[in-house]
Amino acid sequence: MTYDLNHEGGRFGIGKLVRYWQRLDLKSQFLVVAALILLGSMAILGEWLSSQIAANQLRSRAESGALYMEGFLARHVDEENGRPLVVPERQKELDDLLIGTDLAKRVEGFRIWDKDGTVVYSTDKSLMGKRLPSEDIERAFAGTVVAQLEEHHDDQGIANEQTARPLIEIYAPIYRPGNHDVIAVGELYEEAEDFIAQRSRVQRSTWALVGATTLTIMALLYLIVRRASGIINTQRETLKSQLENAQALADQNRSLRRTADKARMDASKSNETLLNRIGSDLHDGPVQVLSLLILRLGQTSGAGNQRDELDPSRLASQVLSELRELSTGLVLPELENLSIEAALKLAAQRHEYATGSIVAAHYENLPEKVAHPLKICLYRVVQEGLNNAYRHAGARGQRVEVSADGSVITVTVSDKGPSPDQPIASAGRRHPLGLQGIRNRVEAFGGTVRIVHEPGAGTSLIVAVPLESNSA
């Protein structure tokens, strides 16, 4: 197996740089990015300004040289057969003006060119009559002033590191008197050391101004970002503190909810234990005593005597029946190991056994496990709903429907209402739980109870209980 060390090292270096960047705070990141952008932008701007200033300075010198040639030197050029001519007398005047004078200290050389590149006049007499065509001469004959800075150039056009000096080379058109026809081109070599020094001073001043502007902008932006970063950090700490407080409150609320749920479950369990105990006590105490009393009353009563409604033995039998019903309703069967569906089926079956009626039932998508107190609550709902259907509707159309959708379990106990010609069994009896007791139980689990009554269509008891906080 081979490894590309350069590739691995480069990747490691980039990853290290990224991690270092991520550790920087906001103002440091801004300072780095702003410095790179501003320095790059200002470098481009400074270079452009320097080049523009240098170009403008050179253009200004070129225009000055062109005006000088047009005003003082062009009058020495004559024309013969359409070609420029400098007669000997004019040549001598030009020599006296440009050679060995104070002007010669600034003007390194002067030439007059014909259109074909022939040197008509030159301060360097060895060049006169030679034909040296160039594009600059052609541009000048087209009416354009051409100027350029040459760092190493002498009057003969030969570079020499020891004798050559920087010069400004200017080509300017010489016009025919009275019109703008170009008859010749004047070439002027002007000393450029002062020009270069002045250009350097201007460029240094420009760069100093650009640098100072860059530093000022960066300082102002840094102060702004530093203040904004401080505000952001303060807000971040505040939000962090608020988030921690909210998290603590949420944890506390969850703890309180768990405590409340446990207390609710314990209360429901204690309530059922109490009801079971009351039912057992009723069965073992008053029911047994009334059974003995009925037995004694039966012995004292004559076998042939007709008992009326107020007969003590008959009254005692009615009390015994109601106490047995109360005892049976209060005492729950063992539901601990039953599923919710099995427990509710048991409630319907016990009702069928006790009343001799028929209950239609439908169960759908019920969970396998729910909290035991909820199981007891729903058992009581079905028990009370069927008891009401039996008492008030004569058991007509008794139906139990139980379904769950993952978040809510819904129990509906309905009937078709009483028949006009059908007597209702035990209409005046009282039930040990009642609808208000069912409502209290269901609301303790966060559920709702609705009773829907439609004349001629019966009554429905609808109970909905959330499963989220009541799962096993």
Residue 369 forms part of a structural domain: yes
Residue 258 forms part of a structural domain: no
Q: In the prediction, which pLDDT does 33 show? A: 83
Residue 380 forms part of a structural domain: yes
Taking only Cα atoms into account, the Rg of the chain, rounded to an integer number of angstroms, comes to 58
Residue 389 forms part of a structural domain: yes
User: How far is Cα 130 from Cα 442, in angstroms, rounded to an integer?
Assistant: 121
Same domain, residue pair 409 and 310:
no
Give the rounded distance of the alpha carbon of 107 from its chain centre.
71
- Which pair of structure tokens corresponds to residue 399? 């139906």
Q: In the prediction, which pLDDT does 324 show? A: 54
- Which pair of structure tokens corresponds to residue 342? 């099995």
Same domain, residue pair 299 and 431:
no
Same domain, residue pair 465 and 381:
yes
Q: CB–CB of 153/201 below 8 Å?
A: no
Q: What is the 3-state secondary structure (H, E, C) of 252-305?
A: HHHHHHHHHHHHHHHHHHHHHHHHHHHHHHHHHCHHHHHHHHHHHHHHHCCCCC
Q: CB–CB of 423/458 below 8 Å?
A: no
Give the residues across from 399 on adjacent strands.
Answer: 360, 414
Query: Domain of 447: which CATH number?
Result: 3.30.565.10
Total domain count for the chain? 2
H-helix or E-strand spanning residue 49: helix 26-68
Give the CA dihedral 247, 252, 254, 256, nearest 10 degrees.
-170
Residue 4 forms part of a structural domain: no
**Domain C-terminal end among 295, 313, 331:** 331
Q: CB–CB of 323/287 below 8 Å?
A: yes
Residue 24's SS3 state is coil
Q: Indicate if the alpha-carbon torsion angle 121, 127, 128, 133 is positive or negative.
A: negative
Give the rounded distance of the alpha carbon of 173 from its chain centre.
68
Range of 319's domain?
A: 285-331
CB within 8 Å of 308: residues ≥ 6 apart: 314
**Domain C-terminal end among 274, 305, 331:** 331
Block means of pLDDT (10 residues each) for the chain, length 472 residues? 48 75 77 81 82 82 80 79 83 80 74 87 85 87 85 51 69 83 85 79 83 84 82 88 92 84 70 64 57 62 52 62 56 74 90 88 90 86 89 89 91 87 49 72 88 86 85 64
H-helix or E-strand spanning residue 98: helix 88-98
**Domain C-terminal end among 273, 300, 331:** 331
Q: CB–CB of 53/207 below 8 Å?
A: no
Q: In the prediction, which pLDDT does 402 show? A: 94
Place of tokens 């102002």: 220
Same domain, residue pair 307 and 398:
no
Residue 436 forms part of a structural domain: yes
Q: In the prediction, which pLDDT does 301 show? A: 57
Question: What are the distances in angstroms from CA 258 to CA 254, 377, 463?
Answer: 6, 19, 23
Indicate the burial class of 48 (C-beta count within 10 angstroms; 0-12, 13-18, 19 or more). exposed
Same domain, residue pair 310 and 397:
no
Q: In the prediction, which pLDDT does 472 show? A: 61
